[in-house]
Amino acid sequence: MNLSRNFTLLELTKSDTAIRKGIDNEPNADQIDKLKMLCENILQPVRDHFGRVKVTSGFRSPELCVAIGSSVNSQHAKGQAADFEVFGLSNAELVKWISENCDFDQMILEFHNLDEPNSGWVHCSYRNDGENRKQILRAYKNESNKTCYESYVPS
């Protein structure tokens, strides 16, 4: 099933963890509609502009969220978020482009190291209820190896 011109449902639901643990990771009709909006408003514009986009995590069923230590209330579980990269492009540059060209709810530059342009990944969500916050954060590990979030301004 196509979610947009270049993205399929399989691409947004594939999970090695779900396969390995026998977890059902199939979204319902409402979640599929939200995945379509995510693809049409975020992933497809990125693909149209930069070429290939690698989605590393899309929809996650509640059982899959628990298996990987994620919240069952995450936007991934609602079909509203994806983690992805564009090969050959700094993730900081990707965040900047999305912030200037797309409507989004929350975008997180995850575990990006400025000394390593291809480090980390981008998490981006889209809400189809018109309540997109345009929130941009950076995720990093502190000295105690705890994940922390801070406001991020693309430059």
For the stretch 90-118, pLDDT in tens is 999 999 999 999 999 999 999 998 888 78
CA distance 55 to 83: 6
CA distance 23 to 17: 8
DSSP state of 120: S
CA distance 137 to 150: 5
Taking alpha carbons only, the member of 118, 55, 69, 73 closest to residue 92 is: 118
Give every CB contact of residue 38 below 8 A, 6+ residues apart in sequence: 3, 12, 58, 79, 80, 81, 82, 125, 126
In this prediction the pTM is 0.93
pLDDT tens profile 43-63 = 999 999 999 899 999 999 999
Type of residue numbered 120: G
User: Please, are residues 96 and 123 in contact by the beta-carbon 8 Å criterion?
Assistant: no
State the pLDDT at residue 114. 80
